[in-house]
Structure 1
Amino acid sequence: MKRWTKVCCAAAVTAALAACSSSPTGRSQIILFSDAQMSQLGAQSFEQMKQEQKVSNNKRINEYVQCVAKAITDHVPPQPEFAEWEVVVFDSDQVNAFALPGGKIGVYTGLLDVAVNQDQLATVIGHEVAHVLADHSNERLSQAQLANTGLQVTSVALGGSQYKDVTMAALGVGVQYGVILPYGRTQESEADIVGLELMAKSGFDPYQSVELWKNMAKASGGNQPPELLSTHPSHDTRINDLKAKADQLPAYDINHPTCKKA
């Protein structure tokens, strides 16, 4: 998977110059922040989370998650703003994971009860890494800027900023702080597509993504709101779309990783 080069143009939007960019699927995006700014925000956010949340010291769980994450990130080309991906396991019952600009990946131990094998965990990690590769946090933060939140493109920072909550939410971790600025359905579906291809290229079984979302549906207990009232695709839509995409993928000639679940 190549790093998608941004196609830039100038456009006057609310007295700012917005960069026009193309997503991995060719969708037009408005990007206001530089890669360096986003990487700094991601690193700051990640350090704060490590200080405020319990980090798992279970060796076997850490080795398992690190193994799956490395198999995924080994198939991501070098990134301009960081040399290595950092992976941290948080000791929490939350069924969740995230990836931040700057190469930061967080996985909650509760996810391992639903993503029951390495292929299903790879589905989630591939999906979250795809959000980073597709500049979804940048796009979301840019949308917040254009919605007159008061954020300054040239001076966004977490430390002491009155806009910290909006920034954290835009990075995808605001739910930890009681703030939700969710990815849209288009971004979620795009991350599903890009992430599925990434995990398949890494040697994992793409059809396990379907089993993962069946597990997710069971874990939700049928409490998901109707699709039209949610920014996320419904479980049924997601399952059908993932199966259709898996059917289209070529048979990648890559040795299957062996990551032993704790």
Structure 2
Amino acid sequence: MKKVLLTITVFLSVVACKTNPFTGKSTFNMFPNSQIFPMAFAEYDQFLTDNKVVTGTSEAQMITNVGQKIASAAERWLNANGYPGYLKDYKWEYNLVQDETVNAWCMPGGKIVFYTGILPICQDETGIAVVMGHEVAHALADHGAQRMSAGMAQQIGAVAGNVAIKNEQWLNVFNQSYGVVSSVGVMLPFNRSHETEADRIGLQIMAIAGYNPDEAAELWKRMKARGGQAPPEFLSTHPSNDTRINNLTAWAPAAKQEAAKFGVTTFK
């Protein structure tokens, strides 16, 4: 059994690497697009069936228009940097859903939802572009598949520990601590790194699409002003508002420089 687990783990580490085109780094991803995209598309369609999709309004149209501009900017960047065809399996879709939750999300393959509750924070088209860039970036970087892969690896670790540890006392200690240690020490930092990466990639592609990257930090200042309790950053899946504001402010000049390579020097 130990040999089987070791073989599986080594095999997954070798075959599950994919390069993130925006960072050049190898990522841990066990799920090819051909496997995860159909599942995501089906789940997205079911979500739309079960929720109230807003159609025929200026806000709904703006969500679609901004999404198309951001996805187009991403494709321009990918084509210019040696990744033609990277998006061939993506099926972009942008929907506004009636829900007061202040949130937006993206499924693998480019299926995006904005809740109406986030629109007052966005305020305008550029604010929507900030959020849209972030969500599109999650799809571009395969963050959904990576998180599923990490969750599977976490489960393999738990099984391996239970197989390897024969002492009952130490096994109890392992089972009591593994979940907390692997979550706080590995999974939460992993998720936060994805949020930070999506912020940076999103800033870049929104600028290429013609939106002012300086507005990203302003949006997060508005998010912070909402108040409310948030867990300490090390116990959260997301960076703190202050961390995001500082990062986005520091990255905005580089995003403008990247946009200039595509002839974009003025912004909305």
Same fold (TM over 0.5): yes
Task: Report what 2:193 is aligned to.
Answer: 186
* Residue range with higher mean Cα deviation, 221-230 or 136-145: 221-230
- Write the distance in 1 (CA, Å) between the matches of 2:190 and 2:49: 25
Structure ranking higher in helix proportion: 2
Task: Report what 1:205 is aligned to.
Answer: 212
CA gap of 1:31–1:125, structure 2 versus 1, over 3 A, is same
Q: Is the 8 A contact 1:93 1:111 kept in 2?
A: yes
Q: Does 1:123 align with 2:164?
A: no
The 5-angstrom pairing of residues 106-255 of structure 1 reads 106-148=113-155, 184-219=191-226, 221-249=227-255, 250=257, 252=260, 253-254=263-264
Task: Report what 1:81 is aligned to.
Answer: 89
Show CA shifts across 1:63-100 (max 9, x none).
Answer: 11111111111123251214x41111101111111122
- Structure 1 runs (4+) deviating above 2 angstroms are 11-18, 21-24, 251-258
TM-score of the superposed pair, with normalisation by structure 2: 0.73
In the alignment, structure 2 segments of 5+ residues that lack a partner are 1-5, 76-84, 157-187
- Write the distance in 2 (CA, Å) between the matches of 1:232 and 1:85: 25
Aligned residues: 217
- Write the distance in 1 (CA, Å) between the matches of 2:140 and 2:195: 13
TM-score of the superposed pair, with normalisation by structure 1: 0.75
Counterpart amino acid of 1:69? G
**Shift in Å, 1:182:** 9.9
* Identity over aligned pairs, percent: 37
CA RMSD of aligned residues (A): 2.6
Q: Could you say which structure has the larger radius of gyration?
A: 2
Q: 1:59 aligns with which of 57, 60, 73?
A: 57
SS of alignment partner, residue 155 of structure 2: coil
Task: Report what 1:69 is aligned to.
Answer: 67
Q: Is the 8 A contact 2:70 2:206 kept in 1?
A: yes
